[in-house]
Structure 1
Amino acid sequence: MSFQYDQYLTQHRSNVKRGFDWIAENLPELLVDGFDYGWQIEFAHDKSKDEQDEYEAYDAYFYGGNRSYAVMQNYQKAWLLHLHRNPHHWQYWILINDDPKEGEIILEMPYNYIIEMICDWWAFSWQKGKLDEIFGWYDEHCKYMKLHPKTRKTIEDILEKMKTKLDEIKEKNELQN
């Protein structure tokens, strides 16, 4: 086990929770339907990364100092496992059918996983202390993402509300200084 990777996991999960807590405090209207988002964020987020088949491959890839073919292959398999185990990733919701006539179907994401996904993305902005960085990141990546139209609209509505609230807070802080 790698101390560095353990630190990363702890910090990432903490930043996901910070993002969720910010939403709960500043935009509580986004957390509707009586779902226990807090439990999902705090206790279930990325728990599969603790599984040996993910942990060891991630640790070797990011902290092992070796990007050999075998390390790359193991990481790619672990990433695929992670995507299939964690419904807060948009890739989880792509159904690739055997029948070419059915093709690929993009399923709608449940709302609770959309919230978790946004907090997951936002964790990297929290890490850098640049909370508005998520918006540029989304703009750069959104065209690549295969999202159900309703899921995309929900994501963009939530991000717009977050941006508006962050701008309000920034403006208020500037007026006070």
Structure 2
Amino acid sequence: MHPWLHFKTITRHKLLVMKYCFRIGLYKQGLLHDLSKYSPTEFLVGCKYYQGNRSPNNAEREDRGVSLAWLHHKGRNKHHYEHWVDYSLDGEHVIMGAKMPKKYVAEMVVDRISASRNYLGDAYTDQEPLKYYLKSKEKLWFIHPETKRDLEAMLRILADHGEKKTLDYIRRVYLKRR
């Protein structure tokens, strides 16, 4: 059990996301981001499976075959595309991804930047969040096509033009479009 190390990791992540959310004008989301990680359902699993270089939810999943902490987390945090999976009425699919509101897509982007910074430390570059996304992109059939397009576009802006331009784009262009 590593309660102090886990607490420091999730708090550092939360504060990074909050800083980025404030920079893009999402003040409420910045304050409320990932509060469920402090609940017993998620926090105790995080302490038990803490490794410091990746999500404890992956270790729980490897050990138990499912991550109950992750199921709890994604059900309460709208910045995860998995939160937006629902039954389909299109007659073609059983389940499908619903289109995410832009404010949650924007929060997802800064969440990915923050997670990469948190786990990679000094090895972080602005290309890392895109690299991580591209590893699983083809398997992500359940993300709404527009959400997937927007997420990848912003991660590419980050990789090609850096953090400042990405955050400026999100605040001044992406979140202003109807």
35, 41, 44: which is aligned to 1:53? Answer: 41
Matched residues in 2 for 1:126 and 1:112: separation? 21
Over the aligned positions, Cα root-mean-square deviation in angstroms equals 3.2
Partner of 2:171: none
- Structure 1 residue 37 corresponds to structure 2 residue 32: no
Paired residue secondary structure (1:115): helix
Partner of 1:109: 100
Measured after TM superposition, the shift of residue 58 of structure 1 is: 1.9
Q: Residues 115-167 of structure 1: CA distance to partner in whole angstroms, max 9, x if unpaired?
A: 11111111133232323211211211222222101111211222233234229
TM-score by length of 2: 0.70
CA gap of 1:10–1:167, structure 2 versus 1, over 3 A, is: closer
Matched residues in 2 for 1:112 and 1:45: separation? 12
Flag structure 1 segments of 5+ consecutive residues without an equivalent: 25-30, 170-177
CA gap of 1:142–1:18, structure 2 versus 1, over 3 A, is: farther
Q: How many residues align?
A: 150
User: If you compute each CA radius of gyration, which structure gives the higher value, 1 or 2?
Assistant: 1
TM-score by length of 1: 0.70
Paired residue secondary structure (1:142): helix
User: Where do 1:69-88 residues align within 5 Å?
Assistant: 72-73=63-64, 76-88=67-79
Of 158-167 and 120-129, more deviation after overlay is shown by 158-167
Matched residues in 1 for 2:48 and 2:35: separation? 18
Following superposition, which runs of at least 4 residues in structure 1 exceed 3 angstroms of deviation?
A: 17-21, 71-75
